Amino acid sequence: MAKFMMKCFFIVTVLLFGVLIGMQQANEGMKKMRGYDDPSLQGAFHITDTSNGEVEASVLGRKVTSHDLEEKQQQLEEVEAFNLFSSIGEKLGTGISALFEKILVTIGNAIGSILGG
């Protein structure tokens, strides 16, 4: 199951980058077709170096910074999403473990009484 999920994630990532590269190529083709640089035509992604040595990136016209990513990570950590299947699985696992523990204790006691008496 984990291999399947990793393959799916890899395929989706490759396809996403393929789409972004295709959009960038289409933008370059539009610029060549017009014959001049039109500022209204924005690329799919753009990476620039700032004067203080930092790198700025924009994807589909929206600027992406490490600060934005850190904010989103904090928001995800703060949100405690309730997963129904996770809670059901946890309760089911606890119940099955307790059931098998009782069964093994009963079998152990029965074997002990047979051997001891």
| pLDDT of amino acid 14 | 94
The answer for residues whose C-beta is within 8 angstroms of residue 37's C-beta and 6 or more apart is 31
* pLDDT tens track for 20-42: 888 888 877 877 777 766 666 56
Closest CA relative to residue 45, chosen from 26, 16, 73, 21: 21
Residues 95 and 109 in one domain: yes
Q: Give yes or no for a contact between 57 and 45, defined as CB atoms under 8 angstroms apart.
A: yes
Containing 63, the helix (H) or strand (E) segment is strand 62-64
In the chain, the percentage of residues whose pLDDT exceeds 70 is 66
Q: Judge whether 2 lies within some domain.
A: no
Record the pTM.
0.35
Residue-number span of the structural domain to which 45 is assigned: 7-81
Q: What is the pLDDT of residue 11?
A: 95
Q: How many distinct structural domains can be found in the chain? A: 2
| Encoded tokens for 115 | 């051997």
